[in-house]
């Protein structure tokens, strides 16, 4: 084989290899939506404001594509604001302003917000959701006077009915439980300063309330006054 013929064969081989590579590259599908994405944390957790209490808006924990081709919308839009308190329902990272929900009266509230992203020029759509959990504050009273006059005869715990799975424990100074109850039944069977129908002595007792997995334990002291 002459040198000239050898080089011709190499040239033809490289030419056809180039065509083969080009065809295979064209055959690989491209995904124009791979960079269009959005993701949120699982929830926003906060306490319900008491009447007259002001709570500052908090940044919604969400991330997503920064492409200007994407149009963002929040559903529902109520509560989503920008850093100046204006409508933020079309922002990727708005603030959540609980005051926009109106007067909750300190009550519990739970809902889900959905963020949708559309890129019409790419034909892409994405969405994610985030739960908003507003906790009612558990507020135990600090004393009872169980003397039968129907005034402070039992231990009142505001909003305990909002947490039916709550566990309630009262112990004496030696660490012995003198009362154990549940949130779902507490209003019917509250602590009345008794243990097995016997009056407990005047003094200071400690309590621990576990409302639920989202709510930290509530601990403190309770005084029985006779």
- Lowest-confidence segment of 6-10, 82-86, 184-188, 205-209 by average pLDDT: 6-10
More confident residue, 131 or 7: 131
- Lowest-confidence segment of 1-10, 48-57, 110-119 by average pLDDT: 1-10
Cβ atoms of 224 and 203 closer than 8 Å = yes
139-224 adopts what CATH topology? Answer: Immunoglobulin-like (2.60.40)
38-135: CATH architecture: Sandwich (2.60)
The tokens describing 80, both together, are 């989503």
Name the one residue in this structure whose structure tokens are 């190499």. Answer: 10
pTM for the full model?
A: 0.74
pLDDT for 182-218, tens place per residue? 999 999 999 999 999 899 999 999 999 999 999 999 9
Which pLDDT band holds residue 140 (cuts at 50, 70, 90)? Answer: very high
Asked whether the domain spanning 139-224 has the same topology as the one spanning 38-135, the reply is: yes
- pLDDT at res. 51: 85
Q: Is the pLDDT of residue 146 over 60?
A: yes
Cβ atoms of 195 and 179 closer than 8 Å = yes
* Domain chopping of the chain, boundaries: 1-30, 38-135, 139-224
Which pLDDT band holds residue 32 (cuts at 50, 70, 90)? Answer: confident
């Amino acid at each position: 084989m002459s040198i000239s013929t050898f080089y011709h064969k190499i040239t033809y081989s490289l030419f056809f290899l180039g065509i083969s590579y080009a065809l295979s590259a064209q055959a690989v599908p491209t995904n124009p939506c791979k960079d269009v994405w959005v993701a949120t944390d699982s929830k926003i957790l906060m306490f319900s404001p008491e009447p007259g209490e002001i709570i500052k808006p908090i940044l919604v924990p969400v991330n997503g594509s920064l492409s200007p081709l994407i149009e963002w919308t929040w559903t529902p839009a109520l509560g989503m604001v920008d850093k100046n308190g204006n409508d933020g329902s079309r922002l990727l990272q708005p603030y959540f302003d609980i005051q926009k929900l109106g007067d909750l009266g300190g009550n519990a509230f739970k809902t889900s917000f959905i963020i949708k992203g559309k890129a019409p020029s790419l034909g892409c759509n994405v969405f994610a959701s985030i739960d908003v959990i507003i906790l009612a504050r558990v507020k135990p009273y600090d004393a009872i006077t169980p003397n039968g006059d129907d005034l402070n005869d039992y231990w009142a715990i505001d909003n305990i009915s909002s947490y039916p799975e709550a566990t309630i424990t009262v112990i004496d100074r030696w660490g012995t439980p003198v009362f154990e109850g549940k949130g779902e039944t507490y209003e019917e069977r509250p602590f009345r300063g008794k243990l097995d129908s016997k009056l407990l002595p005047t003094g200071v007792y400690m309590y621990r309330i576990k409302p639920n997995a989202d709510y930290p334990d509530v601990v403190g002291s309770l005084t029985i006054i006779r």
